[in-house]
Amino acid sequence: MIIAIDGPAASGKSTAARSLAKRLGITFLDTGAMYRAVTLDVLRRDVDPTDAAACTAVAEAIEISFDVEGRILIGGAPGEPEVRSEAVNRRVSEVAAHSGVRRAMVAVQRRIGEQASAGASGDLRGVVAEGRDMTSVVFPDADLKVFLVASPRERARRRAEEEGHPERAAEYEADLARRDEYDSTREDSPLVEVEGALRLETDELTPEQVLQRLIEEVEALRG
Ligand code: DC
């Protein structure tokens, strides 16, 4: 089973996708972490994030995998917490906009999706993949497609709280707005809400309620 979840930055996708995968006992795929890993490598190598060819070369050479908890590994070493640093936040949208970078990452994502879904029948197998183009480009035939949204203010509040800086919510709101604008207007695979996706507005929902709603959808699918 392939479950594809898209939505803007800090809409609660990671929390929802991770907990859903855990509950179902299937693979969790955090594709934002992959673009963050490429960006981290670009910065470490002093590559210019606006240089499409150089960023593509980094994306083609990088060795990305995930540990059993779904946390990203770069060349086998933990990518957290550096992949969430402010330096990466500032440049990741630019790096992720290069078509060559996306081509390299999409190939890895589809391979992980195929590997996770293949195998013995009976047990539920598959992947919960979250990002910006899971429903539109990477897994357009997913069994379940979800578009998670929350207001800019609520997303900034959650992100600031997560980072332990509730007083910086206004600053986070500006950063998220900048990234949303970039991610939604880029030429290759912009964030879009596809027809047929379940739209979930999460301002008024707890993470547990979001999870519950998704489980109901999966149960309906499985009959
Ligand atoms: O979900 P996130 O904030 O970790 O994503 C980081 C950046 O990566 C985001 O600004 C857009 C990009 N991204 C993307 O272009 N396509 C994806 N499938 C996932 C993330």
How far, in Å, from the CA of 132 to the mean position of ligand 1? 6
| Closest ligand 1 atom to 10 CA | 3
Alpha-carbon distance 36 to 19, whole Å?
Answer: 21
Confidence of residue 119 (pLDDT cuts 50, 70, 90): confident
- Mean pLDDT taken over the chain: 95
**Atom of ligand 1 at shortest range from CA of 6:** 18
| Atom 1 in ligand 1: residue holding the nearest Cα | 32
Residue located nearest, by CA, to atom 4 of ligand 1: 32
Question: How many whole angstroms separate alpha carbon 112 and alpha carbon 127?
Answer: 8
Strands (E), the chain: 2-6, 27-30, 64-66, 72-74, 77-78, 127-131, 144-149, 198-201
Pocket test for ligand 1, best of 11, 35, 186, 192 (most atoms within 8 A of CB): 35
Q: What is the position in ligand 1's atom list of the atom closest to the CA of 93?
A: 10
**Residue linked to tokens 């009959």:** 223
Tell me the CA–centroid distance for residue 120 and ligand 1, in Å.
32
Pocket of ligand 1 (CB under 6 A): 9, 31-32, 35-36, 92-93, 96, 131-133, 179, 183
**Ligand 1 centroid, distance to 191 Cα (angstroms):** 9
Cα 49 from Cα 94, distance rounded (Å) = 7
Q: Is the pLDDT of residue 123 over 90?
A: no
Atom of ligand 1 nearest to the CA of 133: 18
Q: Please, which residues bridge with residue 146 across strands?
A: 5, 198
| CA–CA distance, 116 with 105 (Å, rounded to integer) | 16
Residue 216 pLDDT greater than 90, yes or no: yes
Ordered domains of the chain (ranges, CATH): 2-222 (3.40.50.300)
- pLDDT tens-place string over residues 89-106: 999 999 999 999 999 999
Is the pLDDT score of 83 beyond 70?
Answer: yes
**At residue 121, does pLDDT exceed 70?**
no
